[in-house]
Amino acid sequence: MDDSSRGQHRKVAQRRCLVATYAMTDAGQSRSPQLQAALEAARAADAVIAPLFRSNLAVEIKSDRSPVTEADRRAEAAIHAVLTRHFPDYGFYGEETGQHAMQAENVWLVDPLDGTKSFVRDTPFFSTQIALLRRGELVLGVSSACAYGELAWAERGGGAWLNGQRMRVSSRSSLDEAILSTGNLKTLAARPQWQNLGALVQKVNRVRGYGDFVHYHLLARGALDVVLESDVNILDIAALSVMVTEAGGRFTDLSGGAVGLSTTSVLATNGLLHDSVRELIAF
């Protein structure tokens, strides 16, 4: 891709960010100071990331074999600056800077650029994820997919919202009507229950692999019904779990356990299908 084409794509990403920001500021829902701060932090990250998308940034490989770029680090610094200015006594767990004051009653969980592999391959399936953990419970989340043109947020008891519109999960109650989306098939395939997943695939209506933030946004707004994912980090899914739950869905790990700091897999559904899927896959 030449520099002119990259420049045009960056302008498109920036326009999408403006649209999502307008939806956020125009929506008018009641928001706590914490949610307002998280949305402000997401805007700050967007301002860093959008101009760097499709700019051919240098990529480093971290010790866990995951990629990191200037955009990741600068976005996390921007988020940290906003959140600590508003709430200096809160803990902070960032993808790039690690854990700080985790004993605090309130801890921010931040992945500044979830989907760096997509980012560096010039595809828009990346997002900024910000969640708040209060006394061990996830109570709010913001998912800003700037280049994709979607901004979602949720707070416990306040519902889930996407670009200013209320999100609700689907009412599908039968697997033969359900759309399933999977993530990280490589690690799912390595599990002894792989054949169980094959049985589920045969029962559902359609199978897709949207991955990253995309299938959780779709699940929360009722456009699909089941998400299975493995090899995740809590920073990837914390905010999204709040959104799916506030939209009326259910969000656990593959064994049915509650989401926590050590969670590494996901079964997320519209709620109506959760037990049926759990019985079938038996992870």
Residue 147 lies in domain: 3-167
pLDDT at 134: 98
Render pLDDT for 149-202 as a digit per residue (tens, 0 to 9): 999 999 999 999 999 999 999 999 999 999 999 998 888 888 888 888 999 999
CATH code where residue 121 lies: 3.30.540.10
112 shares its domain with 241: no
The predicted model scores a pTM of 0.91
| Region 78-101 average pLDDT | 97
Computed over every residue of the chain, the mean pLDDT equals 91
Q: What is the residue type of 90? A: Y
Look at residues 144, 167, 190 and tell me which one is the last residue of a structural domain. 167
Whether the pLDDT of residue 260 is over 60: the answer is yes
208 shares its domain with 114: no
Tokens of 154: 């949720």
The whole-angstrom separation of Cα 22 and Cα 153 is 14
Which residues contact residue 282 at a Cβ distance below 8 angstroms, ignoring those fewer than 6 apart?
193, 196
Are 108 and 84 within 8 A, CB to CB?
no
Whether the pLDDT of residue 233 is over 60: the answer is yes
pLDDT at 2: 59
Look at residues 114, 138, 167 and tell me which one is the last residue of a structural domain. 167
240 shares its domain with 104: no
188 shares its domain with 135: no
Only one residue has tokens 């125009």, namely 26
Are 129 and 240 within 8 A, CB to CB?
yes
134 shares its domain with 266: no
